């Protein structure tokens, strides 16, 4: 901004000089005009070096600083962890949504990158943005959901560069979505693209390995999986055809019990009668809800009776892992989540797959840290606190 102001002042000074020199004759006027043109071009080049223009996932052209030092993540929750891993540090994240923070505090992100725990969360209260609190953070850029046009308009009116990130543009394909997220980040932070490419390559490698192992499962022997995205005494939300649960089922050769539901994102509200009808073989509970497997085993939520559901009878109810973020969504943990999902749904097909070893090797290669057995235990048995602040 200071350079833009200096450039404008240079142009103004040169213009005044030209008008003052008019009485000096035609030669002086021509010289001043040429000098002004050259200065204008220099100023334009200086400004262009200060900013770059990108196209975000809402298909908006957004001008952002070429050097970004202060980042805020609003309602696109996975991006706090994606950015931290991408940059190799959370020092530039000055503000994150409280939903991001609860995952960082409960998972491994806050241990691997403790500086993220210093990020401000006061600018968001549920879905409400406090513009004054946000401006106080002096962000260079704010990442938000590409589908939240109201929030984007608010940020634009406050003259804050808003970059829209989409979780759904690629039909909830987790691998493709992660690639597209990091491709956009690579335009903004070109010096930091190597690690995301490594994660992407390894994710595809694991995906192909799993697909090879499950490709010959007969249709009638495929496990039926029900995802509980959110579940409390108020409502039960699953993953229909158009949400990340469908990707996970397809990735490991399983059937999505709720595939018939066409509504998008986290809007697939269901009831126990539908669960009884589907009678899933496996139930997967995300970290967007505090509910634990034991709550289903003991009918501890509302007045729901799970005792006749096959997955409950067979003790096949599982909580998803919590590493650098809630593993239901695209994240740096996708490769090891694929392994976990495959072995959880089809343990007999992956008898030699040592999840603990895979996780330790992956984190050592990616972060150069040696996870302890206790950290891995907490990763695969996460607390209910990870769901705090998510409504």
pLDDT the model gives residue 48: 53
pTM for the model stands at 0.86
* C-alpha dihedral sign at 372, 229, 334, 207: positive
pLDDT in tens, 372-389: 999 999 999 999 999 998
pLDDT in tens, 21-40: 333 333 444 444 444 444 44
Rounded Cα–Cα distance for residues 258 and 365 (Å): 37
Which two three-digit tokens encode residue 45?
A: 């080049």
- Domain locations in the chain? 2-51, 53-197, 199-387
pLDDT the model gives residue 49: 72
Is residue 385 within 8 A of residue 106, CB to CB? The reply is yes
Closest of 64, 267, 265, 92 to residue 164, by C-alpha: 64
pLDDT the model gives residue 7: 39
Low-confidence ranges of the chain (pLDDT < 70): 1-48
Rounded Cα–Cα distance for residues 330 and 181 (Å): 9
pLDDT the model gives residue 44: 41
pLDDT in tens, 63-116: 999 999 999 999 999 999 999 999 999 999 999 999 999 999 999 999 999 999
Domains 53-197 and 199-387 share a fold: yes
Pairing of strands 282-285, 317-319: parallel
CATH architecture of 199-387: 3-Layer(aba) Sandwich (3.40)
pLDDT the model gives residue 100: 97
CATH architecture of 53-197: 3-Layer(aba) Sandwich (3.40)
Q: What angle do CA 303, 297, 372 make, to 5 degrees?
A: 130
């Amino acid at each position: 901004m200071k350079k833009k102001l200096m450039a404008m002042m240079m142009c103004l000074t040169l213009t005044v000089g030209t008008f003052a020199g008019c009485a000096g004759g035609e030669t002086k006027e021509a010289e001043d005009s040429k000098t002004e043109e050259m200065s204008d071009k220099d100023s334009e080049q200086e400004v262009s070096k200060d900013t770059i223009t990108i196209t975000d996932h809402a298909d908006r052209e957004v001008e952002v600083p070429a050097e970004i030092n202060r980042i805020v993540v609003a309602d696109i929750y996975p991006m706090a962890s994606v950015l931290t891993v991408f940059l190799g540090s959370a020092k530039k994240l000055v503000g994150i949504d409280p939903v991001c923070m609860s995952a960082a505090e409960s998972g491994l992100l806050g241990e691997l990158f403790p500086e993220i725990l210093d990020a401000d969360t006061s600018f968001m209260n549920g879905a409400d943005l406090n513009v004054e609190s946000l401006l106080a953070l002096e962000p260079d850029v704010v990442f938000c959901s590409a589908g939240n046009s109201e929030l984007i308009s608010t940020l634009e009116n406050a003259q804050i560069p808003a970059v829209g990130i989409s979780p759904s543009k690629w039909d909830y394909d987790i691998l493709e979505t992660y690639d597209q997220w990091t491709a956009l980040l690579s335009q903004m932070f070109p010096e930091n693209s190597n690690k995301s490419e490594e994660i992407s390559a390894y994710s595809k490698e694991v995906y192909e390995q799993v697909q090879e192992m499950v490709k010959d499962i007969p249709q009638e022997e495929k496990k039926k999986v029900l995802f509980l995205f959110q579940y409390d005494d108020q409502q039960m939300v699953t993953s229909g055809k158009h949400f990340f649960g469908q990707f996970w089922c397809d990735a490991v050769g399983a059937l999505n019990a709720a595939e018939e539901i066409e509504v998008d994102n986290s809007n697939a509200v269901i009831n126990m009668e539908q669960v009884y009808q589907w009678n899933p073989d496996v139930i997967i509970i995300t970290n967007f809800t505090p509910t634990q497997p034991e709550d289903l085993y003991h009918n501890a939520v509302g007045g729901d009776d799970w005792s006749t559901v096959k997955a409950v009878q067979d003790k096949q109810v599982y909580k998803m892992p919590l590493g650098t973020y809630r593993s239901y969504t695209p994240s740096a943990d996708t490769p090891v989540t694929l392994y976990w999902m495959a072995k959880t749904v089809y343990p007999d097909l992956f008898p030699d797959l040592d999840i603990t070893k895979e996780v330790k090797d992956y984190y050592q290669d990616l972060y150069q840290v040696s996870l302890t057995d206790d950290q891995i235990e907490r990763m695969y048995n996460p607390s209910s606190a990870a769901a705090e602040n998510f409504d």
